[in-house]
Chains A and B, each alone.
Chain A
Amino acid sequence: MPRIDADLKLDFKDVLLRPKRSSLKSRSEVDLERTFTFRNSKQTYSGIPIIVANMDTVGTFEMAVVMSQHAMFTAVHKHYSLDDWKCFAETHPECLQHVAVSSGSGQNDLERMSRILEAVPQVKFICLDVANGYSEHFVEFVKLVRSKFPEHTIMAGNVVTGEMVEELILSGADIIKVGVGPGSVCTTRTKTGVGYPQLSAVIECADSAHGLKGHIISDGGCTCPGDVAKAFGAGADFVMLGGMFSGHTECAGEVIERNGQKLKLFYGMSSDTAMKKHAGGVAEYRASEGKTVEVPYKGDVENTILDILGGLRSTCTYVGAAKLKELSRRATFIRVTQQHNTVFG
């Protein structure tokens, strides 16, 4: 018999953070840097834990250059060649501590990633990304990668429930990517009916991960700096962004001009567009699970970064957190029915 879980699960749009008394005098006093030691790799990380998603439009080397200047992180997409990587490593050695090499669970991906990690040993992060992190095949793959790279920090996902977070951590992953279907260009929920509201997923998965001294990334669903703050408040150690970083100079693809408006293409990595580009089309037995949109061109990503970090600092002052680290301890979410006054849109 099918079962219905009675308690309602929540999205970012269902909550706001309750203000709390604070002794902070200015937003500028807030420290957004975090330091982590990872459970399995034993590596130590320090930086502002916001990650550019490993999508071929946003997870670019150009993006990584700007991000690393702010101590932010980039999961570089898996479609760069070994030569692209060597060239990047030579010209931008300062960026390498803030990037991850990505791979799916296929044999070709793994071989390509292994060559990159051998050629560029300064890269210490691996991002293992599959649509459905629940398959036993993926668990085996994580174990294999852990045994091949014992000292690299492994991000793995995506999943949305505590028991699978635990399984992946115990299989060798350090940081679990959390999110099924919340992304702005993801159509998994429409195509399959499968998913989990992101705020509840982050709260539940963070709890499981932290119990094992593991970490999580909230991946997808953030549409504004306030959502990023809510994700950290819910317990995310890292927040990964795709749509919010799309449409910038540093994104892949040309600027399109139409009716005097400048646009850039953004699409999900299982969309028709991506599957045509990288796999020669959508296979017969599957549906595309992503969409393609034209987003307004927003100029350099620097401005967007400052907007996000400024928003986060302001959140911290509202709830009295002197450091990003304290945000989740100071977070009380209240349930709401609307986010903002819509009278002027």
Chain B
Amino acid sequence: MPHIDNDVKLDFKDVLLRPKRSTLKSRSEVELTRSFSFRNSKQMYSGIPVIAANMDTVGTFEMARVLCKFSLFTAIHKHYSIHQWQEFASQNPDCLECLAASSGSGSADFEQLEQILEAIPQVKYICLDVANGYSEHFVEFVKDVRKRFPQHTIMAGNVVTGEMVEELILSGADIIKVGIGPGSVCTTRKKTGVGYPQLSAVMECADAAHGLKGHIISDGGCSCPGDVAKAFGAGADFVMLGGMLAGHSESGGELIERDGKKYKLFYGMSSEMAMKKYSGGVAEYRASEGKIVEVPFKGDVEHTIRDILGGIRSTCTYVGAAKLKELSRRTTFIRVTQQVNPIFSNSQ
């Protein structure tokens, strides 16, 4: 018998944060840097825990160079060659601690990952990313990677429920990527009907992970700085962004000009576009689960970063959190039916 879970699961758009009393005088007093010690790798991390997604349009070396200046993190996409990695590493040794090398669960991916990590030992993070983190095959893969790299910090996903977060942590992962279908260029929910509202997923998965001293990344679904703040408020240790970082000078792909307006291409990593680029097309037995959009060109990512960090600092002052660390403890979400007054939304 199919079973219906009766409590409504919530998305970022369904809530706002309730303001609380605060002793902070200015947004500038807020500390956004966090320090973590990871459960399985025993490594230490310190930085502002916002991550550029491992998509070939966003998780680029150019992005990493800017993000590391702000002590933000980049999950480098898996399509760079070992030579490109070596070149980047020799020119930007300072950035290497703020990035991860990515891999799927295939053996070709894994061999490439091994080569990169052997050639560049300063890279200490591995991002194991598959569409469906619920397969036993993926669990075995995580165990293999942990055995091969006992001291690297492993991010693994994606999943959306507590029991699978626990399973992956116990299999050797340190940080679990949480999110199925919330991304702006993801069509998984449409193509499969599978998914989980992101705010509820983050709250439930954070609870499961923290119980084991593991960590989570809220991956996908943030459309504005307020959503990033809500993800942290819900208990995410890290927040991964794709669409919000798309369309910048540092993003992959050419600038397109049409009718005097500039655009950049942005697409999901299971879209037709990505599959044609990297695997010669969409295999017969599967549908594409991503879309392709042209996003308006936004210039240098530096401005967007300041906007996001300024927004989170403001959130912290509203709820009385002097540090990002305190944000989730100070968070009370209220349920709402609309986010903003839409009266001038068309007359910017």
Contact = CB atoms under 8 A, between A and B. Distances in A.
A156 interface: no
Contacts of B225: 190-193, 287
Contacts of B328: 1-2
B152 to A, nearest CB: 30
Contact of A7 (B19, B233, B335, B338): B335
Contacts of A188: 314
Interface string B20-44: 1111110110000000000000000
B310 A286 contact: yes
Contact of A5 (B28, B329, B332, B348): B332
B182 to A, nearest CB: 16
B235 interface: yes
B338 A13 contact: yes
Given A1-B207, A243-B343, A286-B313, 9 more contacts: A2-B333, A8-B337, A137-B24, A182-B341, A196-B18, A197-B336, A287-B314, A288-B307, A291-B344
A207 B147 CA distance: 61
Interface string A193-209: 11111000000000000
A160 interface: yes
Nearest to A192: B315
Contacts of B23: 135-137
B19 A132 contact: yes
Given A2-B235, A132-B318, A161 B347 contact: no
A2 B234 contact: yes
A182 B224 CA distance: 17
Contacts, number: 188
Interface of A: 1-11, 13-14, 132, 134-137, 159-161, 163-164, 167, 180-197, 220-221, 223, 243, 266, 282-289, 291-295
B314 A136 contact: no
B226 A193 contact: yes
B230 interface: yes
Given A193-B227, A283-B28, A1 B235 contact: yes
25 contacts: A1-B207, A1-B328, A1-B329, A4-B10, A8-B336, A11-B336, A132-B19, A134-B19, A134-B320, A135-B24, A136-B22, A137-B24, A159-B19, A161-B19, A181-B340, A184-B344, A190-B340, A194-B319, A195-B339, A243-B343, A287-B306, A287-B308, A287-B310, A293-B347, A295-B347
Interface residues of B, number: 58
Contacts of A288: 307, 310
Contacts of A2: 203, 233-235, 328-329, 331-333
Interface string B303-326: 000111111111101111000000
Contacts of B234: 2
A192 B335 contact: no
Interface in B1-57: 10, 12, 15-25, 27-28
A223 B315 contact: no
Contact of A291 (B203, B306, B334, B348): B348
A288 B225 CA distance: 11
